Structures are given as C-alpha cells and as structure tokens.
C-alpha cells in the first residue's frame, strides 16, 4: 500500500510526543511541551482525515463493499506456526472512523488543556501521558489481531491510570486510579482468557482469519468450538462472553462500571478524552470488531444486549440522583455506551437487519462529540467555580455565554432532540430495537426520557437556579479553551447529517438512512417530557426535587447510593480477598510453610540437645557403649544371616 507511512505516522506522532516529553519534558521542554504535543497531534489528526478520505473514496471499496485491508504488518512474537502476534494496521470503516474520532477529540483536548492545565508543575508530563494515551488508543483501533488489541487495550488502561492519578498527592485520585485499573484488569483477565480460547479454536489471532475460520458451520474449527464445554455452553460462547467481559470492563458496563464515576478524579479534559469519547467506547468497538462471530453465535450477543440495556437503564437512574457534575456526566456516558451495546445486541448480520450495528457505531461517533463537549464545558465550569458540586453552582449562563450555549446544545443532542447529532443516532438505535423486540424498545425509550431529565436537571442547576455564592476568580476563559468548545459545537450540530450507513455497516455494503418522521415522534415527545420535568423541578430553587426524592424514599436512596454496588465490591475485596484469602495465605506461609522449615531446624537442635548425655565423660559408660555397639552389630548380623 502506497501510503503506509502516512498511516503509521498517525499513531507514531503521539508516541514521539510521549517519548520526547517523557524524557526531556521535565528539564528542557517545560514551557513548550503543550505546543509541541498539540502540533504533533494536529499533524496526526490531519493525516487521519486524509487516510479516512482515501479509504472511503479511493481504495477502500471493492465491488461496492468496504473491505478490511491489512495496510502493514510485521511478525512480532510467535507462539506456534499458525499462532503468532503480528503488529500491524487494519483498515476498515470502523477503524477509520475511530481514527478520525480519536485524533480529533484528542486534538481538541490538547488544545483545551493548553489553557486548562496552565501553570501545572507537571505540565510536560501531562502532555506526555496524553500522547501515550492517544498512541495506545490508535494502536487499539488499528489492531489487525486480537493480541495487538489486547496489548493496546492494556496500554490504554495504564494511560488512563496515569491520567486519573495525575494529581498524585490527592488520595482520592490515587484511589480512583487504582480502582479503575484493577476493575478493568479484572475484566481483562476474562478478555485474555477469551482471546486465548478464541485463538485456540480459530487457530489464529488475526481478526480476518479467526472470523473466517469460525463462521463456517462445516469447518472443523467451528465444530470443535461449538461443542459444549463448560456449564452447557459451547467453547465459542464462553470465548466471546469472556471477550465481552473485557469490553464491558473498559466500557463501564454493569456490573463492572464502578470505576468510571471515580475516574472523574482526573483532570477534566482527560475525562472528556478518555472517559467519555474514546477509551470507554473501546468495548463497543471490540464487539463491533468481532461482530460476525457474535451474530453467528447468538447466545453471546444476547448477553451483550442484556448487559447494554441494563447498564443504560441503571446508569440513567443513578444519574438522576447524583450531584457531582462530572459524575452525572460519567453515568450518562455509561448509559449511552449501554445504548451502543444495546444497538449491537439487537443487530443482525447483514442487510436491513444489521441496522443496529450501523446505529451503534453512529451513536459512538456522535456521542464522542457531544459528550466531550459536555465534559469540556464542565471543565470550564469547574475552572470557574472551583467545585464539582452541582448544588454549589447556579446562574452561570451570564458569565459563560459560550459555555452555556455549548452545554445546552450538547444536552439537547444527548436527549435526542432534532436536529442535533444525538437525535439521528438515537433514532436509529430505537428503531433497531423496535424491530427486534418491543420490550427492549420500551425500556430504551424510558431510558431516553430519563436521560433528558437528568441532563437538563444538571443544565438548569448549573446555569439557572439561584446564582452561586462561590468566588469566581477565573472568570475569563482563555481562548485555547474556547476554540475546542466552538469546534465541537459545530460537530455536534452537523455530525448527525452524515449518511453514516453508507460508510459503516456490518457487512460493508451501504445501508440507506432510516429516518421516519412518524417513528420519531414518540421518542422526541418522551425526551421533551423529561426536559420539561427537569425544568419544572430545577429551573428555580424550590423544594420540588426534595419532595420528589422523599416520595420515593427507598428508590431514591438506592439510586443515590448507586445500588450499593461499590459496597458490595468493597465487601468482596476487603473481606473475602484480603481478610479471608490474603491474610490466611500470609499466616499459612509464616506459620506452616516457613514454620515447617524452622521447626525442622529447631527439632534437629532438640534432638541434638536430648542426646548430649551420651557424651558423659565417664570412661565406664564409653566402654559400655563400645560393647553395646558390638552387640548391636552382632544383632544386625544375626538378622542379616536369616
């Protein structure tokens, strides 16, 4: 392929930024770190747009179908003759779309951080970490095989860890970083096993080969994979479920979502980049990547659907009761990702039935813009107010007109109000759900209403309501923070109009846009209901919200405490893993394993002590023993003689 270099440069430029700033940033490039990183990323973003253009309009299509192209590959680590990890680049519609999204959002965040992180002592380190993250994320989306994906998956995780824990002197940030990493690590454990299983069955690690090998019902690979393995499920189902477990962990799906709200301890631009637009959708991307297998397997796709639905609903409920701005956004992210999962879950393998796939990817695309916009707005707000608590804010629309406008539009977009981006993608998801199952559709609709409610609850609390009492020293927002807002705002407005289906679909063939006015009426109405409800309750200070909370006391408390899932995990880790397993293992090691060694030594000494009277110093006794020895030998000889 002629533009290998361009494609390779896309991930390598951020890596260069990481290495450069990581090694020299602290001492030499302290001032210019931000500019350097931003420039590198700008180049990267431009290159990815070029690549996207070339792929979609030049070489990507063969016989009207967008094909998967291995643009570049090297042998990296071999296991057996068939199984080996190759590092390479895979181009197909979803990876190209992700390429654009990741570089673009990352660029926005880079620019935004120029202002937001100004004056930070570890400014260069921050940009180094951003570079590392961008590199890893790009490596992830470009991965042509499972293991490369897993590797960059982990790298993404570690960059997330580093960025969440960026304020390393703040214990809560450290704890959150740790939690995020460990929870996703736990999920990755499943992912890893899943990969090993899948590669074992498919006899390859490459996506293309694995999918080929395992989606032919007659092939021996498939037959062995489909044989029941454990608990009545087939090996393939287990493999795909375990892989989905990895995706669920990274995408904060219930019940592995606990890390995401805490992850908001990181700098806000980081939340916008990692915990809203890019990394957290990796799970969706993963399922989409292996989509042919999921569809083919059925059972595992059901799990995806179920988990997605449940997560989106639960997150929405919890979000209604939270007061921390970023946490609300985090739960909304979780909810929206649940939506995407749901969309994949209801999708079929090709043609019209595969609307869900396109819809899910479309939502991923649009969500990236408005969610990062929301987060960046939150960043501005926090920058000004110096608090995360929604209740300490209010009436900010006058001080922050641009932010206000951006926030409002993003809220409208996420609620699914036309003509903003969210409307189009959500619409398609609901339609796909409707076609698949009415129950799913209804619950999704309800979630959509809840989404509108809690987003506008946040909006009204922050921008309307009574003015906040806090000092507002950073009243002026630097230009570098305004530019990304404006750009993202534009994207939020226009992104929905792209005919996404003609580029991205489950089987590579173009899919016509599905816009039916009659169908859209109900979802929009539900969303508007949510908005008005929020307006009624939160636009001005009133006791309505509290009264409402009181009237549903149990439910409210449950939701407010996030259904006590954190406590449950705490119980499991602290009580069971630490106190029961860890402590006892430690005790056993000291008492029994090591104890046995010491006891052996001590008892040898004891024996030595107890026989000391043999050496009494009395010659009579010596001679007696002498004689006894002879007697002993004689006895022995008699024994032998027999």
Partner 1 sequence: MLEYIFLMKQELMLSALIFLLLIIYLASNNLVTEKVLTGINGLLIANLLLGFWGNPTGNLFGNMYHTDGLIVFQKSLLNFALLVISFMAYDWLKVHRHYLEFYILMLAALLGAFYMISSRHLLMFFLGLELAGIPVALMANFDLGRKKSSEAALKYIMSSAFASAMFLFGAGFIYALTGTLDFFELQKAATANPAFLFAFIFILAGIGFKISAVPFHLWTADVYQGAPVATASYLSVVSKGSVLFVLAYLLFNVFQNIFITWRAIIILLALLSMVLGNLFALRQQNSKRFMAFSSITQMGFVLIALAAGKLMSTSALIYFILVYLFSNLAAFGVIAVVMDHTGREDINAFKGFYKKNPSLAWVFALALFSLAGIPPMAGFFGKFFLVLAVAGSVNYVILTLIALNIVLSVYYYLRIVRLMFMDDAETSLNRISVSRMPKWALWICTAGTIVTGVMSGAYEYIATLVKSVW
Partner 2 sequence: MNLSLLIIVPLILAVAGLLVNSQKQVKGIALASGIAQLVLAFWLAISFMLQRKSAVSEFLFQQHFEWFRHLNIGYHIGVDGISVTMILLTAFIVLAGILVSWNVKRMSKEYFFLMQVLAIGAYGFFISLDLFTLFFFLELAVVPKFMLIGIWGSGKKEYSAMKLALMLMAASALVFVGITGLYFFSTTHGVHDFNLLTVADHPLPTDKQKIFFPFVFIGFGIFTALFPFHTWVPDGHSSAPTAASMFLAGISMKLGGYGCLRVAVYLMPAGAQFYSNAIIVLACIAILYGALVTMMQTDLKYINAYSSVSHCGFVLLGIGILTKTAINGAVLQMISHGLMTALFFAVIGMIYERTHTREVSKMGGLLKIMPFISTLFVLVGLCSLGLPGLSGFVAEVTILVGSWQRVGAYYQWATIIAAASIVVTAVYILRATAKVIMGPLKINNSLGEAALAQLDGRPAANWNERAAVYLLAGGIIAMGIAPFLVTDFIYPATDFILQQLSFK
- For binding to partner 1 (CB under 8 A), which residues are involved? 604-605, 607-609, 611-612, 614-615, 617, 619, 621-623, 625-626, 628-630, 632-634, 636-637, 640-641
Roughly how many angstroms between the first and final C-alpha of the chain, as a whole number?
89
Q: Which does 517 bind (CB under 5 to 8 A by kind): partner 1, partner 2, none?
A: none
Taking the complex as a whole, the smallest distance from the CB of residue 606 to partner 2 amounts, in Å, to 17
Q: Which of partner 2, partner 1, none sits in contact with 196, Cβ below 5 to 8 A by type?
A: partner 2
Q: Which does 202 bind (CB under 5 to 8 A by kind): partner 2, partner 1, none?
A: none
Give the nearer residue to partner 1 in terms of CB position, either 5 or 630: 630
- 61 vs 178, which CB is nearer to partner 2? 178
Distance separating alpha carbons of residues 273 and 280, to the nearest angstrom:
9
CA distance 167 to 174: 8
Closest CA to 267 of 372, 165, 183, 135: 165
Q: Give the one entry of partner 1, partner 2, none that residue 564 binds, where binding means its C-beta sits below a cut-off of 5 to 8 angstroms depending on kind.
A: none
* Residue 630 binds which entry of partner 1, partner 2, none, CB below 5-8 Å type-dependent: partner 1
**Residue 57 contact among partner 2, partner 1, none, beta carbon within 5 to 8 Å by kind:** none
Peptide bond into 419 cis (omega under 30): yes
Q: Quick one: tokens of 30? A: 């302290």
Rounded to 5 degrees, φ, ψ at 85 are -85, 125
User: Rounded to the nearest whole angstrom, what is the least distance from the CB of residue 610 to partner 1 in the complex?
Assistant: 9
Beta carbon nearer to partner 2, 552 or 577: 577
Report the DSSP pairing between strands 228-230 and 65-66: unpaired
Q: What does 543 interact with, of partner 1, partner 2, none (CB < 5 to 8 A by kind)?
A: none
Nearer to partner 2, 80 or 473 (CB): 80
- Measured from the Cβ of residue 353, the count of other Cβ atoms closer than 10 Å reads 16
Provide the minimum distance between the beta carbon of 290 and partner 2 in the complex, in angstroms, as a whole number.
Answer: 18
What distance in Å separates the CA atoms of residue 334 and residue 252, rounded to the nearest whole number? Answer: 6
Cβ pair 84, 205 in contact under 8 A:
yes
Q: At what angle do helices 401-415 and 421-436 cross, to 10 degrees?
A: 10
- Which residues on adjacent β-strands are paired with residue 61? 66
Q: With 0-12 CB in 10 A as exposed, 13-18 as middle and 19+ as buried, what is 228? A: exposed
Output 83 or 299, the one with its CB closest to partner 2. Answer: 83
Task: State in angstroms the smallest separation of the CB of 199 from partner 2.
Answer: 7
CB of residue 624 to partner 1, shortest distance in Å: 9
- Closest CB 195 distance from partner 2, rounded Å: 9
Which of the listed partners (partner 1, partner 2, none) does 231 bind, with a CB threshold of 5 to 8 Å by partner kind? none
Contact status, residue 282 vs residue 153, Cβ threshold 8 Å: yes
As measured in angstroms, the least distance from the Cβ of 306 to partner 2 is 24
Nearer to partner 1, 351 or 629 (CB): 629
For partner 2, the closer CB: 129 or 423: 129
Give me the least distance between CB of 595 and partner 1, in Å please. Answer: 19
Determine the 3-state secondary structure of 334 from DSSP.
Answer: helix
Compare residues 598 and 615 and give the one whose CB is closer to partner 2.
Answer: 598
Closest to partner 2 by CB, 76 or 625 = 76
CB 14 within 8 A of CB 139: no
* Closest to partner 1 by CB, 74 or 614: 614
Q: Which residues pair with 78 in a beta bridge?
A: 84
For partner 2, the binding residues (CB under 8 A) are 26, 75-80, 83, 147, 150-152, 154-155, 158, 161, 165, 168-169, 171, 174-175, 177-178, 181-182, 185-186, 188-189, 192-193, 196-197, 199-200, 230, 577-578, 581-583, 585-586, 589, 593-594, 596-597, 601
Residue 635 Cβ, how far from partner 1 at the closest point, in Å?
Answer: 10
Q: How far is the CB of 612 from partner 1 (least distance, A)?
A: 7
Q: How far apart are CA 220 and CA 213, in angstroms?
A: 9
Residue 275 CA: distances (Å) to CA of 180, 244, 332, 358: 11, 19, 11, 22
For the chain, state the CA radius of gyration.
30
DSSP state of 579: I
Contact partner at residue 174 from partner 1, partner 2, none, CB < 5 to 8 Å by partner kind: partner 2
C-alpha to C-alpha distance for 194 and 187, rounded to whole angstroms: 11
Cβ atoms 394, 464 nearer than 8 A: yes
Closest-CA residue to 38 (of 95, 91, 117, 92): 117
| Strands of 497-541, DSSP E | none
Residue among 576 and 631 whose Cβ is closer to partner 1: 631
The residue count of the chain comes to: 642
Q: Is the distance from CB of 402 to CB of 463 less than 8 angstroms?
A: no
Task: In angstroms, give the least distance from the CB of 581 to partner 2.
Answer: 5
Shorter beta-carbon distance to partner 1: residue 35 or 636: 636
Residue 50: partners with Cβ closer than 8 Å, 6 or more residues away: 6
3-state secondary structure 84-143: EEEEEEEECHHHHHHHHHHHHHHHHHHHHHHHHCCCCCCHHHHHHHHHHHHHHHHHHHHC
Select from partner 2, partner 1, none the partner in contact with residue 637, using the beta carbon and a kind-dependent cut-off of 5 to 8 Å: partner 1
Query: Binds 397, which of partner 2, partner 1, none (CB < 5 to 8 A, cut-off by type)?
Result: none
619 binds, among partner 1, partner 2, none (CB under 5 to 8 A by kind): partner 1
Would you call 230 helix, strand, or coil by DSSP? Answer: strand
3-state SS assignment for residue 71: strand
| Cβ distance to partner 1 smaller for residue 35 or 630 | 630
Q: How far is the CB of 288 from partner 2 (least distance, A)?
A: 22
554 vs 640, beta carbon nearer partner 1: 640
- Nearest-approach distance from CB 599 to partner 1, in angstroms: 15
Question: Residue 244 binds what, of partner 1, partner 2, none (CB under 5 to 8 Å, by partner type)?
Answer: none
Partner in contact with 182, chosen from partner 1, partner 2, none, beta carbon below 5 to 8 Å by kind: partner 2
User: CB of residue 381 vs partner 2: minimum separation in angstroms?
Assistant: 27
SS3 of 266-302: CCHHHHHHHHHHCHHHHHHHHHHHCHHHHHHHCHHHH
């Amino acid at each position: 392929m002629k533009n290998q270099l361009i494609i390779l440069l896309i991930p390598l430029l951020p890596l260069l930024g990481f290495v450069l700033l990581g090694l020299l940033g602290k001492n030499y490039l302290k001032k210019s770190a931000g500019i350097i990183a931003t420039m590198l990323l700008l180049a990267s973003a431009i290159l990815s747009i070029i690549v996207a253009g070339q792929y979609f309009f030049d070489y990507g299509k063969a016989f009207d179908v967008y094909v998967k192209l291995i643009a570049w590959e090297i042998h990296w680590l071999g296991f057996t003759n068939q199984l080996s990890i190759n590092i390479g680049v895979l181009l197909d519609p979803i990876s190209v779309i992700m390429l654009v999204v990741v570089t673009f959002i990352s660029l926005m965040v880079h620019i935004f951080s120029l202002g937001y992180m100004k004056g930070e002592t570890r400014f260069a380190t921050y940009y180094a970490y951003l570079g590392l993250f961008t590199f890893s994320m790009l490596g992830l989306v470009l991965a042509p095989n499972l293991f490369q994906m897993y590797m960059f998956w982990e790298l993404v995780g570690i960059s997330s860890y580093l960025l969440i824990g960026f304020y390393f002197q703040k214990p809560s940030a450290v704890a959150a970083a740790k939690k995020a990493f460990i929870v996703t690590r736990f999920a990755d454990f499943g992912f890893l096993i899943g990969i090993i299983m899948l590669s074992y069955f498919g006899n390859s690690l490459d996506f293309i080969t694995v999918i080929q090998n395992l989606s032919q019902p007659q092939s021996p690979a498939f037959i062995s994979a489909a044989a029941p393995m454990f608990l009545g499920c087939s090996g393939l189902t287990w493999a795909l479920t375990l892989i989905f477990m990895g995706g669920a962990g990274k995408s904060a799906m219930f019940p592995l979502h606990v890390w995401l709200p805490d992850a908001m301890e990181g700098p806000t631009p980081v939340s916008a980049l990692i915990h809203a637009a890019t990394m957290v959708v990796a799970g969706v991307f993963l399922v989409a990547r292996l989509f042919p297998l999921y569809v083919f397997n059925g059972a595992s796709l059901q799990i995806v659907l179920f988990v997605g639905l449940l997560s989106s609903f639960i997150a929405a409920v919890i979000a209604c009761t939270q007061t921390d701005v970023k946490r609300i956004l985090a739960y909304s992210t979780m909810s929206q990702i649940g939506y995407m999962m749901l969309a994949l879950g209801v999708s079929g393998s090709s043609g019209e039935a595969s609307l869900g796939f396109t819809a899910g990817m479309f939502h991923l695309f649009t969500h990236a813009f408005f969610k990062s916009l929301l987060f960046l707005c939150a960043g501005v707000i926090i920058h000004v107010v110096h608090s995360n608590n929604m209740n300490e804010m209010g009436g900010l629309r006058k001080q922050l007109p641009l932010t206000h406008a951006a926030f409002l539009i993003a809220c409208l977009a996420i609620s699914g109000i036309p003509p903003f981006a969210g409307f189009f993608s959500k619409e398609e998801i609901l339609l796909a759900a409707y076609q698949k199952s009415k129950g799913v559709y209804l619950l999704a609709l309800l979630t959509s209403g809840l989404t509108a409610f809690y987003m506008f609850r946040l909006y009204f609390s922050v921008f309307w309501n009574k003015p906040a009492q806090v000092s507002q020293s950073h009243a002026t927002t630097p230009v570098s923070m305004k530019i990304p807002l404006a750009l993202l705002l534009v994207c939020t407005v226009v992104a929905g109009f792209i005919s996404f289906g003609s580029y991205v679909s489950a089987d590579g063939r173009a899919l016509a846009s599905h816009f039916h006015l009659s169908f859209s009426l109900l979802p929009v109405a539900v969303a508007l209901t949510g908005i008005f409800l929020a307006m009624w309750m939160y636009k001005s200070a009133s006791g309505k919200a509290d009264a409402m909370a009181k009237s549903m006391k149990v439910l409210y408390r449950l939701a407010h405490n996030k259904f006590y899932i954190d406590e449950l995990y705490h119980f499991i880790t602290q009580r069971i893993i630490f106190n029961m397993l860890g402590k006892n293992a430690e005790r056993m090691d000291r008492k029994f394993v090591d104890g046995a060694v010491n006891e052996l030594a001590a008892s040898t000494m004891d024996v030595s002590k107890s026989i000391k009277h043999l050496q009494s110093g009395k010659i009579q006794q010596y001679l007696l023993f002498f004689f006894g020895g002879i007697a002993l030998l004689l006895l022995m000889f008699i024994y032998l003689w027999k």
